[in-house]
Chain A
Amino acid sequence: MYLMGEILLNVAKGLIMTIVKTKNGEELVIAPEGMLDTANAPAFDAEMEAAVAETTKLVLDFAKVQYISSSGLRVLLKAQKKVAASGEMKLVNVSAAVKEVFELTGFTNILTIV
């Protein structure tokens, strides 16, 4: 029963966005999945706010992010500004499409993309 509940919950979340969170020693890895657009940005924002408060070493795994809109960029900008004071935030596994957006908007200038 419990397992089924868990699955259902994940399915329900999938309709919005799945954000996987893993703690790796000092590092906190956040891996959003899907489209980082206007609809999903608030959920991503909430997750990032919590993460920034929790750790100083933040890793964003963008392997499963296919698209990012200006709303998604806003969340990254906010997190980057908060982290800049005391810690670090890096983006890994950024897809070509998302990387192009970062380049187009000049976000490559402020983000640490590995």
Chain B
Amino acid sequence: MKKKTLLQSVLIALVCGLIFYILGEPCREFFKVSETTEVRIVAPLPFLFSIAFGLPGALGCAFANVAADASQGFPATIFVPGFFSQVAYGYLPALLWNYLRRNAKNKFKLDRVYKVVQFLLIVIVDSAFISWLVYLNVALNGLPVSVDLWLNVFFNQLITMVVVGIPFMVICSLRYQRYLHKKDRMPRTMFSFSLNEKFLLFFLLASIVLGVAVGGANYQILLYKHHLDTLHLWNYVYYAVGVALNVALWASLAFLYYMERTVAQPVETMSAIAKVFGEETEIEAKIASIVSKCQKYVYFTSEIGDLARAFKGMSSELDTYVKNLTNVAAEHQKTHTELSIATAIQVSSLPKLEVFKRLELYAMMDPALEVGGDFYDFFKIDDDHIALLVADVSGKGVPAALFMMVSKIILRHNLMQGFSPAEALLRANEELSKNNPIEMFVSCLCGVLDLKTGVLKFANAGHERPALMRKGGEFYLPQIKSCFVLGGMPGMKYQDFEVPLAPGDIMFTYTDGVPEAMNENNEEFGNERMLAALNANKNESMENLCKNVREMVRAHAGSAAQFDDITMLAFCYKGA
């Protein structure tokens, strides 16, 4: 709350005093109980105004009381002490209440049983206090005093503080809440009572209605059946109301305390979980907060216990699930990292492009997954002979890549030893099919080119036919016999073929990823399109030749995903 200026304080005191005077005056006229007292429904106002406005509230009421007493002709010995007692019984308990509510956002809110109990205790003590002050004041002025006078003041104070005080607190609480909403720009809600608060307010208001009804009924009965003086009549009414109010209130509070502990509080706590979930950013913290909130209630045997157990169980499951998910994500990350390393290893295992004498060569491999089963290879066997290889392992991914590495090493080893392509394939087949439990196989086109003579000796282990172009002619697929793939079965025979190449002749080798590339309509790229793409660029460099085919395949595939590895190796014999 902001600090009030002096003007504001004076204004508040004036308004409070005015209200006090206007409401108090009729009581003095119509509810006069004795020479010195009357039924004062304004009795709780100093206390309530002090809670709401601080000292100016109490001072305003006290001045109004002096004014009223003076106008009635009471001597200064009555109204001067009256002024101070008025300030004391109004302001001191308000100070205590404000101190108890120092951490509350809304100090008027009676949303917990203990707050209501505090309120009632303050009211009882304060009522007893003012009763003694009035008693002493009257006695010191030499006016008649009695126990009845004391009791009259006490009950008047006590009952009005409850009957007027509690509705006053509720109204203030609502007003203040609305102010808070406005300040925080929150959506305005008419009834923002918590579950517990609703319970409490219902019982409090019911008790008040009951007390007032009992009082009304007693007043009627006492008035007509017994002829009592006003002081005693009102005292009896006060006893009846006081007893009814207290029995109803304390019984309600006992019941409400039980309800608060076993139902309202747990439900409110658990319903606040959704809010907590929004506030925390770490999922673990969120779950931990839910579990700790529910932990308090899981031992309850009631439905609340069921709810808490269910909540806690769900959170624990969620926790496990999140942990699993985190692990899976980490595992996935690890796999991803390993695969990218595998890609790097595979790429580096392919030979680097180099410039050969009498031969122009270009090769590329484009795997469908991180690693592929396709490979190409070329290397000098001796000064005059160069080995050229294109191969395709059945399947894709890591298994194919592992099989590809083994095949590549064996084939290179065999060819380096000087075996002819057919002999190299035969030996590789024996080696690969020896221990091959999962029936993987590799198709391979393997050739050795004599750079001096231009004679290409090659053998085919179940691979796609190469495209050949004689200088000045067109690309075509020569009919050559295919032997069995490598690794499938031992004891297979392979055959060498010899093709003499003239300077300017081009051979284009590839894997099935080229002709079998599919588009969205499941149409293959096909040999015709491949040959057309080759012929369109037959006078280009080997690099442009391959890149153009790759581009045409990409254009054909469109939005369809690359399904198989795409590998090409093209070379042009340049002559001696």
Instruction: Spell out A's residues near B (CB within 8 Å).
Output: 38, 70-71, 73-74, 77-78, 80-81, 103-107, 109-110
Contacts and interface: CB of A to CB of B under 8 A. Distances in A.
Contact of B441 (A77, A80, A104, A109): A77
Contact of A81 (B394, B395, B439): B439
B489 A107 contact: no
A107 B462 CA distance: 8
Interface string B468-490: 00000000000000111100110
Given A105-B463, A106-B461, A107-B484, 12 more contacts: A70-B392, A70-B394, A70-B395, A70-B443, A71-B394, A73-B441, A73-B485, A104-B463, A104-B465, A105-B462, A105-B485, A109-B484
Contacts of B133: none
A104 B463 CA distance: 6
Interface of B: 392, 394-395, 439-441, 443, 460-465, 482-485, 488-489, 492, 512
A109 B461 CA distance: 11
B487 to A, nearest CB: 9
Nearest to B464: A104
Nearest to A80: B489
Contact of B482 (A38, A71, A78, A103): A103
B483 A71 contact: no
Nearest to B438: A74
Contacts of A104: 462-465, 482
A69 to B, nearest CB: 8
Contacts of A77: 439, 441, 488-489
25 contacts: A70-B392, A71-B394, A73-B394, A73-B441, A73-B485, A74-B441, A77-B441, A77-B488, A81-B489, A103-B482, A104-B462, A104-B464, A104-B482, A105-B484, A105-B485, A106-B462, A106-B483, A106-B485, A106-B492, A107-B462, A107-B485, A109-B484, A109-B492, A110-B484, A110-B492
Contacts of B482: 103-106
Contact of B488 (A38, A71, A103, A110): A110
By Cβ-Cβ distance, the 7 closest A-B pairs, closest first, are A106-B484, A105-B462, A70-B394, A106-B462, A109-B484, A106-B483, A106-B482
Contacts of A109: 483-484, 492
Contacts of B392: 70
B111 to A, nearest CB: 61
B428 to A, nearest CB: 14
Contacts of A71: 394-395
A67 to B, nearest CB: 9
Nearest to A75: B439
A81 B488 CA distance: 9
A44 B443 CA distance: 22
B108 to A, nearest CB: 69
**Residue of A81, A104, A107, A110 with most chain B CB atoms under a 10 A cut-off:** A104
Contacts of A106: 460-462, 482-485, 492
A81 to B, nearest CB: 7
A74 B465 contact: no
B394 A74 contact: yes
Contacts of B512: 70
B439 A78 contact: yes
Contacts of A103: 482
B440 A74 contact: yes
Contacts of B484: 105-107, 109-110
Nearest to B392: A70
Nearest to B482: A106
Nearest to B524: A67
B443 A105 contact: yes
A51 B452 CA distance: 55
A110 B440 CA distance: 15
Contacts of B440: 74
**Residue of B464, B485, B512 with most chain A CB atoms under a 10 A cut-off:** B485
A110 B489 CA distance: 9
Nearest to B522: A35
**Residue of A80, A105, A109 with most chain B CB atoms under a 10 A cut-off:** A105
A70 B565 CA distance: 13
Contacts of B461: 106
B391 to A, nearest CB: 12
**Residue of A70, A71, A77, A104 with most chain B CB atoms under a 10 A cut-off:** A70
A77 B490 CA distance: 12
